[in-house]
Chains A and B, each alone.
Chain A
């Protein structure tokens, strides 16, 4: 018999795996959910195939149950929860009410009303309001309730609001990569200053520097809406960006450039803490490093700014990069405290 299936830790039963799966699914969606939870969850899931089966199956059911909400939020809670109280209430038996049913109905009605009212009140509380930020050199992944994921680059800040109608992310500063779970009923809207990027199911990054933004799309399609004032009086139609598109939106307008996915992916290696340069002007490479480190590099000599450099580096580890410049390009490097100055020899 094939019993190689029991890779599962400590001979966990199928039912135990199933119970845990439901709890994970629900918690992941309604929170609270931290990065540690995500790690613990991934570890749990990869623990056995049985867990994966349970997780996938119930995730599907869970998704289907969500459709009940489509029956209308008015009709359901009252109606479906109304027979909540149809079970005999034993506490009533001890009360000397002489079979008079009126008090009992009154009680039921008032309790019911309270429940409905509470549900109604609570409805607003589910619209979670969350801010996430990273320090210089930081990198973090934020799982969202809808299954989407936001990867925050160095020195960045987002605010995430998910409700039943939309998923809104406000990129307040820095850069983020978005892996958007498909959900046509809830558009995924990233706001950066006055600009908006709208997606349904896709992967893209947005980098913000003041009011200038740069959007790179690796999968699916997004719509970039420049500032509403750009087109006087009427709604700006926006620019549709497909995979390979890199758009820069500045005050003067939007410029779209086509790149290969490989090139874009290369620019997105920051998601794993890596910076990749290929024929990159020294000035640009230095500017990149400066985003990730308190220790700043300065180019003293304009003559060396255009020298092209290449390589793969840890974004928060300056030394290998500086050493490469020092040895490989024979430039002069002087260090003092948090300042590293590059100049020609």
Chain B
């Protein structure tokens, strides 16, 4: 296992996930597509970075995203002009991340707590017991009277939902967001 690559990826690339997801959501309307696309972008980034680490990670990430989108758009043969034009706004989008990252630790914690509260009840219980209480899966299963496989599923759902909510700007919950492309405009103005 490449610990250095792991650390690099987590520290240099993943903090831009919210911005990347928003960027992709403007190009693709289905959340599932966005997640697949993001996955492929990450894979490309990891592949390159395992050989040479890019000097400006976020620029590299968005360049990779843009290239992949162009590839896919060409492939789909439904080249809509606005799709390609839209790709040029990367820089603007990248810039508004810095403000996001400046949110204080306390605010982040509040947001996390808020999202945690909104998880389905079982997910919340399982995540709490596994992560905070540090209980093994079996113990959680016994405690909640559930099968281990069910505990495992709840945990996955909890982590997955939180991941998307924390970084993906809640693609799954607010579908409205990416229905109108003009969403980019206000961000320009900032």
Which chain B residues in 88-125 approach chain A with CB under 8 Å? 108-109, 112-113, 116-117, 121, 124-125
> What's the tally of chain B residues with a CB closer than 8 Å to chain A?
51
Interface of A is mostly: helix
Which chain A residues in 107-136 approach chain B with CB under 8 Å? 118-119, 122-123, 125-126
Interface string of B1-12 (1 = CB under 8 A from A): 100001001100
The answer to whether B14 has its CB under 8 Å from any CB of chain A is yes
Q: Are A18 and B160 neighbours in the complex by a CB distance under 8 Å?
A: yes
Interface of B is mostly: helix
Q: Are A119 and B121 neighbours in the complex by a CB distance under 8 Å?
A: no
A4 → chain B closest CB, angstroms: 9
Q: Are B131 and A123 neighbours in the complex by a CB distance under 8 Å?
A: no
In the complex, what distance in Å separates the CA atom of A45 from the CA atom of B6?
11
A69 → chain B closest CB, angstroms: 5
The answer to whether A81 has its CB under 8 Å from any CB of chain B is yes
In the complex, what distance in Å separates the CA atom of A180 from the CA atom of B132?
21
Which chain A residues in 69-125 approach chain B with CB under 8 Å? 69-71, 73, 76-77, 80-81, 83-84, 86-87, 118-119, 122-123, 125
Residues of A within 8 A of B (CB): 1-2, 5, 14, 18-19, 22-23, 25-27, 29-32, 42, 45-46, 49-50, 52-54, 56-62, 64-71, 73, 76-77, 80-81, 83-84, 86-87, 118-119, 122-123, 125-126, 145
Q: 18 A-B contacts, Cβ less than 8 Å apart?
A: A1-B75, A2-B68, A5-B40, A5-B43, A14-B35, A22-B159, A22-B160, A29-B134, A30-B134, A49-B46, A64-B112, A66-B131, A67-B112, A68-B109, A71-B109, A80-B116, A122-B135, A125-B135
Residues of B within 8 A of A (CB): 1, 6, 9-10, 14, 17, 35-36, 39-40, 42-44, 46-47, 68, 71-72, 75, 108-109, 112-113, 116-117, 121, 124-125, 127-137, 139, 143, 152-153, 155-156, 159-160, 162-163, 166-167
